[in-house]
Amino acid sequence: MIKQDTALLQHWLRTIIMAPGQLEHKMAVASRIHQLDEYDVVIENEIAPIQARLNVYSQGYIARLLDCMYADYPACKKFMGDEVFDSFAKAYLMYHPSTSFTLFDLGKAFPEFLERTKPKFDETGDTAYFDIPAELARLERAKQYALRAPGTEDADNNASDIQTYGLLFGNLKVRLPECLQLLEMAFPMKQFFSALHNDEEYEMPSPRKTFMAVSRKNYRVMIDELTEAQYLLLQQCGKHGDFYKAVTAVSAMVDTDQSELLADAMLWMPYFARCAFLVIET
């Protein structure tokens, strides 16, 4: 073994640890990039082969990343089973290696990865079972985001702040909290998701377009299903920042009389405020 520059050795070992593929491929990549092979870096001994010792670092890194995926997607892991989840998670880590200073970003694209890599069938096949993992992952990612994003804990968002005058004359200002995630799902997921997390028996959900909101109230994650009108109203509130303008926009979208929708919305507002789906500006 020839004495090497410390920085060069660090970069070589980083490549061995983080490059995708099996150890043989990693060593080939490191050799090509840094003009060093394992015998230039590691001293041989009789305790264990060089490849086995390097594999400790290579596999240990992947194991730690897998632990992060387990923590971020526990419901997916329960539904898919350990072996299947591991195979998809390892493939995901190969194509989406960690590039951020925070491991929160590690699994960001996992829902899309599951959607792209699910088994393909002809139009006559029942694909519902294979569509669920990606939908579960989307909901779990939304929950993670709601836990970490700025919430409403320091905001005065009491439902009693809702003024009838503001609702009727169009000067009620609202905003969406940063922790709110609005989802359009292919399955009704609320009860199914809860059962998985609580290790309860569950029935497979049947495909049905469903709208959901995920937020955080008093440090507790709030997950609920919405009607399409409620979903659109929250979206438009975020777009306009004005409740009356949002109602006007949604009434045209769902072809409902504006006064009728406004009456319904007056009943929804306290619910939105209690769940931290909406913040009323005072």
204 is a domain residue:
yes
**Are the CB atoms for 159 and 279 separated by under 8 Å?**
no
Q: What pLDDT is recorded for position 226?
A: 98
pLDDT tens for 155-183 read 655 544 555 545 555 578 899 999 999 99
- Is the domain of 64 the same as that of 155? no
Residues sharing a CB contact under 8 Å with residue 226, sequence separation 6 or more, in sequence order: 211, 212, 213, 234
CA–CA separation, 161 vs 279, rounded Å?
Answer: 10
194 is a domain residue:
yes
239 is a domain residue:
yes
Q: Residue 1 is part of which domain span? A: 1-68
- Is the domain of 59 the same as that of 171? no
Q: What is the largest CA-CA distance in the chain?
A: 84
136 is a domain residue:
no
What are the CA-CA distances from residue 57 to residues 15, 35, 46, 91, 109 (Å)? 11, 20, 19, 19, 25
- Is the domain of 173 the same as that of 273? yes
- Is the domain of 180 the same as that of 64? no
Number of domains in the chain: 2
Q: Which tokens hold the place of 100?
A: 């951020």
Q: What pLDDT is recorded for position 129?
A: 81
Whole-prediction pTM value?
0.83
CA proximity to 232, closest of 214, 251, 217: 251
Q: What is the CATH number of the domain that holds 242?
A: 3.90.930
pLDDT tens for 21-58 read 788 888 888 888 988 888 778 878 878 888 888 888 88
Half-sphere exposure of 141 (CA within 13 A, CB side): 18
- Is the domain of 59 the same as that of 164? no
- Scored b (16 or more CB within 10 A) or e, 4-31 reads eeeeebeebbebbbebeeebeebbeebe
User: Torsions phi, psi of 47, nearest 5?
Assistant: -75, -45
214 is a domain residue:
yes
DSSP string, the chain: -----HHHHHHHHHHHHHSSS-HHHHHHHHHHHHS--HHHHS---SSS-HHHHHHHHHHHHHHHHHHHHHHH-HHHHHHH-HHHHHHHHHHHHHHS---SSSGGGTTTTHHHHHHHHS----TTS--HHHHHHHHHHHHHHHHHHHHHS--STTS---GGG--HHHHHHT--BEE--TT-EEEEESS--HHHHHHHHTT----PPPP--EEEEEEEETTEEEEEEE-HHHHHHHHHHHHHSBHHHHHHHHHHHTT--HHHHHHHHHHHHHHHHHTTS-EE--
Q: What pLDDT is recorded for position 163?
A: 53
Q: Among 11, 37, 68, which residue terminates a domain? A: 68
- Is the domain of 260 the same as that of 158? yes
Q: Among 68, 92, 127, which residue terminates a domain? A: 68
128 is a domain residue:
no
- Is the domain of 155 the same as that of 58? no
- Is the domain of 156 the same as that of 36? no
Question: For the chain, which ranges sit under pLDDT 50?
Answer: 1, 159-160, 165
162 is a domain residue:
yes
Q: What pLDDT is recorded for position 139?
A: 98
Q: What pLDDT is recorded for position 39?
A: 79
Q: What pLDDT is recorded for position 246?
A: 94
Q: Among 68, 90, 114, which residue terminates a domain? A: 68
Query: Terminus-to-terminus CA distance in the chain, angstroms?
Result: 71
140 is a domain residue:
no
- Is the domain of 161 the same as that of 274? yes
